[in-house]
Chain A
């Protein structure tokens, strides 16, 4: 299985809602990533988990809260988001955290904040 799955595919939420994005991989990868991608822009790294520990936080606002319950799962908890947070949220995984390792991206969750 060489797939990264993400749920939900689409999410619409109000600024006071709390929601979560989920990501799963069964490739035995030990590094997992959250990226944010705005339309017609490249992905922007948000968080990196390496061996289930948060290793990189790219100064992301606290309204985004990542969680790695185990080596196969990655969550992104959302609370009190702003309309400018509307974007495609991509999860990726790789064998290790070094970029020489190919990152496998999921299809993303299209988030709209009203």
Chain B
């Protein structure tokens, strides 16, 4: 019940396109949903996060869509650029419990 399922495992998107990564969870107690971006040889960096009282949050080209009833949330990257090529992890937590990470999506943006 603590799992967060992430898909796809890898994704190739053309430059300028929209990249979409999906996550699903079971534990209805989760109330914090961050997305992390990790470049090779670097630590993860918080990209954007959402709480379940809103259905969408946008920061620049990055948008989280949240569907509480379906227990799903997704990351949309608009106008994807080669510099967005990285591994993306969704995560979830509640209270002061540790972050439960998804399995990761390796995103490649091709010219």
Contacts and interface: CB of A to CB of B under 8 A. Distances in A.
A103 interface: yes
B43 interface: yes
A38 B101 CA distance: 13
Contact of B44 (A58, A99, A100, A105): A105
Nearest to B89: A42
Q: How large is the interface on A (under 10, 10 to 19, 20 to 34, 35 or more residues)?
A: 20 to 34
B104 A41 contact: yes
Interface in B8-56: 32, 34, 41-46, 49
Interface of B: 32, 34, 41-46, 49, 87, 89, 91, 93, 95-99, 101-104, 106
Interface of A: 4, 40-43, 45, 48, 56, 58, 90, 92, 97-100, 102-103, 105-108
